[in-house]
Homo-oligomer: A and B are copies of this chain.
Amino acid sequence: MQIRPFPFLAALFLPSPALAADAPATPSAIVAQAPASAWQAIAADTLLVMTVEGDKRVVIQLAPDFAPAHVANIRALARAGWWDGESVYRVQDNYVAQWGDVTEKKALPIGIATDIRADYARPLAALKTPVTPLPYPDAYAPRTGFINGWPVAIDEASAWLPHCYAMVGVARNLSPDTGTGAELYAVIGQAPRQLDRNIAVVGRVIEGMDLLASLPRGSGDLGFYAAGEKRLPILSVRLASDLPESQRPRYQVMDVGSRSFADYLRLRANRKDDFYERPAGGVDLCNAPVPVREAP
Interface residues of A (CB under 8 A from B): 2-10, 14, 90-96, 98, 104, 120, 136-140, 164-166, 169, 171-174, 176, 178, 183, 185, 188-199, 209-210, 213-217, 221-223, 268-269, 271, 274-278, 280-287
Contacts and interface: CB of A to CB of B under 8 A. Distances in A.
A230 to B, nearest CB: 13
B284 A94 contact: no
Contacts of A6: 222
Contacts of A5: 95-96, 169, 171, 185, 192, 195, 199
Nearest to A211: B217
Q: How many copies of the shown chain assemble into the complex?
A: 2
Nearest to A196: B280
Nearest to A280: B140
19 contacts: A2-B104, A2-B173, A2-B178, A2-B183, A5-B96, A6-B222, A93-B213, A94-B213, A138-B282, A139-B269, A139-B280, A139-B287, A164-B190, A174-B274, A190-B287, A193-B284, A198-B275, A198-B276, A213-B213
A173 B90 CA distance: 38
A280 B193 contact: yes
B284 A191 contact: yes
Contacts of A280: 139-140, 193-194, 196
A260 to B, nearest CB: 19
Contacts of A138: 137, 139, 282
B210 A93 contact: yes
Contacts of A169: 5
A226 B194 CA distance: 38
Nearest to A270: B194
Residues of A contacting B: mostly: loop
Contact of A4 (B96, B274, B282): B96
A228 to B, nearest CB: 16
Nearest to A102: B2
Contact of A198 (B198, B214, B271): B271
A189 B213 contact: yes
Given A223-B10, A284-B284, A173 B3 contact: yes
A120 to B, nearest CB: 8
Contacts of A90: 4
A7 B190 CA distance: 13
A73 to B, nearest CB: 16
B4 A183 contact: yes
Nearest to A220: B14
A32 B47 CA distance: 42
B214 A287 contact: no
A95 B166 CA distance: 13
A95 B282 CA distance: 18
Nearest to A15: B221
